[in-house]
Amino acid sequence: MKILVAADGSAHSNEAIDLLGRLRLPEHTQIEVLSVLEHPAVYAGSHGIRDRVTSVIEGQQRQAAETAVAETRQRLAESHVDVASTIRDGHPAEEILKRAESIAADLIIAGSRGLSALDRFLLGSTTERLLKHAHCDVLISRPVTPSATVSPSDRLRVMVAYDGSPGADAAIDALTRLPIGPQAEVRLVTVLSVLKSFRMDILQHLSAEWALEKETAGKVALDAAAKLEEAGYDRVQVRIEESDDVADHLIHLSETWPADILMTGANGHSKIEQFLLGSVSTRLTRHAPCAVWLTRTRDSQN
C-alpha cells in the first residue's frame, strides 16, 4: 500500500497525521510525506522591494515546510518504518495530484483546510481539487473537539455510507485490506430516499417496488458486512434507514454515534454522478463532523 500524506503544519494537517497513526496498515506500506511551497504574490513596492519581500517569505515558507515534514516523519516513524519525504514548489493541489500519480498512490491523506484565512471558513480549495481529481482514495481529516478527543488505544469508529454502488464496494474493499479489525467498530448505513412532499411517502411505502427495494438493500448490506467479518471485523452493524435527505441524515448519524471516519464512494448510482463527484459525497466531505474517506473503484484509479 502506498500513502501520500500532505503536510503543511496546520491543525487540520496534524489531525490527519494523528488519524493515520491510529490506523493499522498492511506490512510493507510505503508512506511519503509531501509539503508544497506556493510562491507568494507580492504586488506592493518597487521591483527591488518586491524581490526582497518575496525572498523573505519564501525562506520562511521553506523553513516551515521543512519543520512540518520533519515533525510528521518523526511522528509516523514510531508506528510506520518506511516513511519518505519531499518538498516541492508549485500549486499545492497540482503538486499533490502529480506526486500521487507518479508514485501510484493508493491513498492521499490531507487536512480539510490549510493555513489561509479563507480556508478557516470554507472547505479548502486544495481539498476540493483533491476530492474531484485524484485517481485514488482520499482521506480528509478535521480537528476534533475536546469532548470528542480519543486516545490512540480506543477503537476506531468507522461508518460506511453503503448504497451497493461500485464506489461503496470500494470502501468495503479498502477496509478488508486494512488489518484493523479488532481495533475498529464498523457501522454500515444504507439510507433509502423517500419523497415526503405531498405525503408521497405513504404511497411509496405501500408499493411492491418499495418493499422489494428495501429487502434488496438489506441483503446487499448484509453481504458487505459478511465480507468485513471474514476480514476480521467483529463489530459490524447494519442499519437500513429512510430519509428525504440522504446526506443530511448520514451527517446526523455520524454525529450521534459518533464516528471517527465516514467512508463514502466517490460516485453513486445516478448517471450524473458518473461524471461528477456525487452530490451526497460532496456534502459529506464539506459538512461531516469527522474525517471523510472518499473511495474510488480500482478502474477509476487506473
CATH of 150-301, one of 3.20.20.10, 2.70.150.10, 3.60.15.10, 3.40.50.620: 3.40.50.620
User: What digits encode the pLDDT tens for the residues 99-134?
Assistant: 999 999 999 999 876 444 444 344 567 888 888 889
Provide the pLDDT for residue 143: 65
Residue-wise pLDDT tens digits, 12-63: 788 888 888 888 888 888 899 888 877 655 455 556 665 665 566 566 777 7
User: Which residues are CB-contacts of 83 (< 8 A; sequence separation ≥ 6)?
Assistant: 31, 32, 33, 73, 76, 77
- Alpha-carbon gap, residue 61 to 52, rounded angstroms: 14
How far CA 129 is from CA of 70, 96, 268, 277, in Å, comes to 26, 10, 19, 11
CA-wise closest residue to 103 among 32, 23, 37, 5? 32
Q: Is the pTM of this model over 0.85?
A: no
- At residue 248 the predicted structure's pLDDT band, cuts being 50, 70 and 90, is very high
Q: In what order do the strands lie in the sheet with 291-295?
A: 83-89, 30-37, 2-6, 107-111, 137-141, 291-295, 261-265, 156-161, 184-193, 236-243
The domain spans of the chain are 2-143, 150-301
Task: Write the CATH number of the domain with boundaries 2-143.
Answer: 3.40.50.620
Answer whether 2-143 and 150-301 agree in fold. yes
